[in-house]
Homo-oligomer: A and B are copies of this chain.
């Protein structure tokens, strides 16, 4: 049997009891850490918790060889991943493969940036539009893909908030910061041939280390957040659309937004 186990948001204590029990009971545990990572814990701390060694795979071993699925035909095998499984396409392919080969499978969910970042931003889950990601620019060609800027604008036009994820290149230990993400958006804005909807005076929420005790949720105008020190990864951004009074009050009281945003309501 094949178990796809999510480790949750931040450290080795974000996994569920169900996840821990599963990892203790299976014959073998594999990990892939290129799609998502835990920041708050060493790898070994997870091994200590479950009392067995974890075999770490690189991208080729996961995507092309899938040795863990061969083993799952005769044994109980788990693959662990950061966050909630199946957010990355790779994982849904494994379940397709299991279904085709008649291997039973179970998914053990975990806390995910997809629900937790909107939640901790204080904005209503129902008023978020499409999620977008800011990729690292190609500096050699001075190329900044416009797609995230356009995605936020499309949400704003329909009065929807946007969760903006920031690029991760885990193999290079590179994690885009909120500051870099906002600078990116401003560079894209400067190169538009029209007046973009996201400007230096647009309200944004920077969210760092969701799931950790020292997480930061800081709301402010882009021109102010762009130099704010949010500390270590992972970072993400929320760009709010029109605010309900309850949302605005949260941003002011909990996330330190300028009190004047309450005047505009």
Contacts and interface: CB of A to CB of B under 8 A. Distances in A.
Contact of A122 (B95, B112, B158): B95
A49 B127 CA distance: 36
Given A8-B109, A92-B246, A119 B17 contact: no
Interface stretch (A52-60, A83-91, A219-227): A83-91
Interface of A: 6, 8-9, 11-18, 20-21, 49, 84-87, 89, 92-93, 95-96, 98-100, 106-107, 109-112, 114-116, 118-120, 122, 124-133, 154, 158, 160, 210-211, 213, 246-247, 249-250, 253-254
A87 B129 contact: no
A111 B84 contact: yes
B158 A119 contact: no
Identical chains bound together, number: 2
Contact of A130 (B16, B111, B120, B126): B126
Given A87-B125, A124-B89, A130-B126, A100 B16 contact: no
A253 B99 contact: yes
Given A86-B122, A95-B254, A254-B96, A14 B109 contact: yes
